Structure 1
Amino acid sequence: MKVVIVGGGKVGEALCIDLANSCDVVLIDKNQAVVENIFDQCDIQAVLGNGTDVNVQTEAGVKDADIFLAVSESDELNLVACIIAKKLGARHTMARVRNPQYSESVDFIKRSLEITTILNPEEEAAKTISRNLKFPTALNVESFAGGKLNIVELELEKESVINGLSLTEVGKNLGSPLLVCIIEREGKVFIPSGSCCLMAGDKIHVLGDNEALAKFYSMLGKSKKPISSAIMIGGGRVAYYLIKRLLQRKVDIKIIETDLERAKFLASSFPEITVINADGTDQDVLEEEGIGNYEACIALTGIDEENVILSVFAKHRGVNKSIAKVSRTSMLKILGHFGIDSIITPKSIVSDQIIRFVRSIIAADNSPVEKLYRLAGRRVEAMQFLAGDDLKILDTKLKDLKTKENTLIASIQRGRDLILPNGESKILPKDHVIVVTTQENIISLDDILV
């Protein structure tokens, strides 16, 4: 599978590293230092030049590309690069497009320019934040089966009623179909069995429908009531997309934006919200605006350190849910000790979306990947597959399948039915199957077999 990537920035770098082991990757970037930095991390080819230059694309072998990914910082460059790539013969094209003006015409642009798909990192980040606000006490929330199933990440407190219980006992006490599919304990990650006992300090990832998760929250003595008020610091693109989503849920929103023109734009675009033109990193301003009266604080400035400090400050002022946008993944390992509820990394979100796109094309005729999330510090993958007609895994009881270590078939959606499978369950054609695994490069459902 040949993949050509235009743009070696944060997203492009992540894609090169992710795809280098499974695909023939060629990077196009005009900055030699950027290319050399990526060369040091993974085995790829590179062409120096502008991604919209026909000669540069020709040199990169775009005519033979299965997938062409344009992820530079310029929307227009990405769109033009995809048009040229398609004309040269690339089978599938994807453009990263961030401008809200384009987002409202995505379908028209895709049809008119023959671009396979368009991805907006800021809008995807807003979707992730919006999901997290539905489960205030969760660290992260990932959605499957059209939103009917969610994987919710929680940290078990010392006084939790389920400490010391086995997963089988938890299931019996709950009385609803629910699955603990990942446990993070003392720096290690594993897929647990039913006999595994939970411990204080465990980070657990729980899969269930809304009813089962509500019962689980009730068992833990936690509220599942969605956030009804939020204060945002920073009014950039993520904030713009997030405001649109939260207003649909009638969330009371206040946003603090330091740039006067941007503040005016947000106020005119969303007359239902309160917009304050001030420095949201100033603690006196936050106190004046009543930060402690809001259920959620979402720090969306362009500076990672400011977002971290703002989120910690919000927790100290009694805010129930704090969310920080962090662009540098190198910071993530140390942030678990800061008490921030959720950390959103747009680069990782969009990288996962593009990897899903690539894998779905590789396995298009067999079992395409419909959803892909990387969990537990990106050490675990949770994927939703559409089962094709020609798979070894079909029509065999799960207890008779020899699957790879640390791999779990977590759910099967068959028509409108959601199934948390047992050993007697079988996978049939057209099923939507959720797999959770620590294994890498799972492209097709059959790849989970030994």
Structure 2
Amino acid sequence: MRVVIIGAGDVGRAIAANLEASHEVVVVDRDGDVVEELTYSLDVLALEGDGTELETLREADVEQADLVIACTDSDEANVVVCGATKTVSDAFTIARVRRRTLLETWEGSQGAFGVDFMVCTDLLAAQAIVRISGLPATQDVDTFVGGLVRMAEFEIDADSPVAEMTVQEADCYDSLTFAAIFRGDEMIVAGGDTVIRAGDRVVVIGSAGSVADFAGDVVPSTTDDEEVIIVGASEIGFQAAREFEEHGYRPRLIERDPDRAREVAESLPNTLVMESDATDTEFLAREHVDEADVVVAALDGDEKNLLVSLLAERLGVDRTVAVIENREYTDLFETVGVDVAVNPREETAEEIVRFTRAGHTEKVAMLEHDRAEVIEFEVSPESVLAGETIVDATAALPNGVVIGAISRGGELVTPRGETVVEPGDHVVVFVDAKVLDAVIEAI
């Protein structure tokens, strides 16, 4: 597949790095220094130019492109890129935007602006925050097969009841598959005798109920209703509050700017908006912020979000989730005490990358900064899995693959050794990134 990426920021770079080994990739950016750096760091064709101009698009040979991804930092420029592309090419176009209102306009008339698919960075980040906040100890959560299947990555504390158990001892759930364990720089495909250690990150795939049950065993809950506090009415903070409301929560939101606080209060009927400085310790004590189950730091600025998260942790908040714009800060944030760092650009790259997979791959979730992926696909009659038991199907695939769940006719099938995979099944698998291309080809 020939892929043209307009914009070499964090999103464009992440997509290019993911695709360079298996696709013909062209990256266009206006910054000559960025283009030069890409030329030496990635196996892509990097061009300097303005992607909104037809001359630049022709230089990138969009006439022969299968996919054009517009992911500059300007919503308007990305829409223009897609529209200009459609005048000279039949390529599938994807526009990355930050404003949800623009996404809603496009959804009302899909295909408008020459955009075949639109992805909203802030909305994706907000949805990720809500998914992660809903399960204790999770580092990542995603859903597959229309919500029938859930994937979650849990960090195991020394005090967790499952610490020092084998997978076989811990596996007492109706529909759950232990896929893998990340232990430092090591990735371990989970087997029955694999021991779960304190500090491990365990990836499980299964029904929403079984994943929730496992979460409750990893960190036994002491309250029935979680209290959520969002710090910052940035667009992500606002969207997160809306998402929490839609999931039945009644969050509190702290915003320093009086005009912005008034604006979001009028749009969030089930959110208590408080106008204050979130670093005011007297205010935090007066509002009993220390009793919150989750504090989400969604201010405009990584440093501010780090400060708020560390302050919340010091007050005794159970869990902190921080929005970070700089992907390189993710590990740093989690090292110094932030429980989960959510990177909007990484969420966006994950959503876009699925369009570059084989035609039947329907969803992709990246784990541990692209060290592994969980993918959903429909089994074709030609697939090496079709008609095979799980034991034989796994043997036909490279090492580093775990079949986590199967959906058949809308019903969840928990894969066990003698379960037969049938054409038409929707299968969710965990894949080591090192063997991803071989797996994609086989399925």
> After the TM superposition, which residues 74-223 of structure 1 pair with which residues of structure 2 at under 5 Å, given as runs?
74-171=74-171, 174-220=172-218, 222-223=220-221
| Deviation larger for 318-327 or 39-48 | 39-48
Alignment deviations for residues 57-101 of structure 1 (CA, whole Å, 9 cap, x no partner): 111111111000011111111111101111211420000122122
Q: Confirm or deny that 1:397 pairs with 2:395.
A: no
Q: Confirm or deny that 1:241 pairs with 2:233.
A: no
Q: Confirm or deny that 1:426 pairs with 2:423.
A: no
CA distance in 2, matches of 1:163, 1:275: 39
Give the conservation status (yes or no) of the 8 Å contact 2:279–2:311.
no
| Deviation larger for 245-254 or 350-359 | 245-254
- 2:275 aligns with 277
Alignment deviations for residues 111-164 of structure 1 (CA, whole Å, 9 cap, x no partner): 333422000011011111111122133232222222222222222233433333
- 2:52 aligns with 52
* Counterpart AA for 1:134: G
Give the conservation status (yes or no) of the 8 Å contact 1:325–1:345.
yes
Aligned residue among 401, 418, 421 for 1:407 = 401
Q: Confirm or deny that 1:436 pairs with 2:430.
A: yes
Shift of 1:441: 6.6
Change (3 A) 1:446 1:79: closer
Give the conservation status (yes or no) of the 8 Å contact 1:407–1:448.
no
* Counterpart AA for 2:106: V
* Counterpart AA for 1:45: L
CA distance in 1, matches of 2:338, 2:386: 43
Alignment deviations for residues 260-303 of structure 1 (CA, whole Å, 9 cap, x no partner): 33223212222442323333344444334432232221001122
Alignment deviations for residues 140-193 of structure 1 (CA, whole Å, 9 cap, x no partner): 22222222222222222334333333222322xx25232221112243111111
| Deviation larger for 143-152 or 323-332 | 143-152
SS of residue paired to 2:110: helix
Shift of 1:313: 1.9
* Counterpart AA for 2:12: G
Change (3 A) 1:225 1:64: farther
SS of residue paired to 2:273: strand
Give the conservation status (yes or no) of the 8 Å contact 1:369–1:443.
no
* Counterpart AA for 1:318: G
Aligned length: 441
CA distance in 1, matches of 2:354, 2:344: 15
SS of residue paired to 2:405: strand
CA distance in 2, matches of 1:398, 1:355: 27
| Deviation larger for 230-239 or 393-402 | 393-402
CA distance in 2, matches of 1:413, 1:370: 13
CA distance in 2, matches of 1:166, 1:48: 53
Change (3 A) 1:219 1:70: closer
Give the conservation status (yes or no) of the 8 Å contact 1:393–1:446.
no
What is the RMSD of the two structures over their aligned residues, measured on CA atoms?
A: 2.3
- 1:14 aligns with 14
Q: Report % sequence identity.
A: 27
Shift of 1:21: 1.8
Change (3 A) 1:44 1:408: same
Alignment deviations for residues 216-257 of structure 1 (CA, whole Å, 9 cap, x no partner): 345446129776422211111112221211112332222222
Give the conservation status (yes or no) of the 8 Å contact 1:375–1:381.
yes
Shift of 1:38: 2.2
CA distance in 2, matches of 1:48, 1:446: 32
- Name stretches of at least 5 consecutive residues in structure 2 with no aligned partner: none
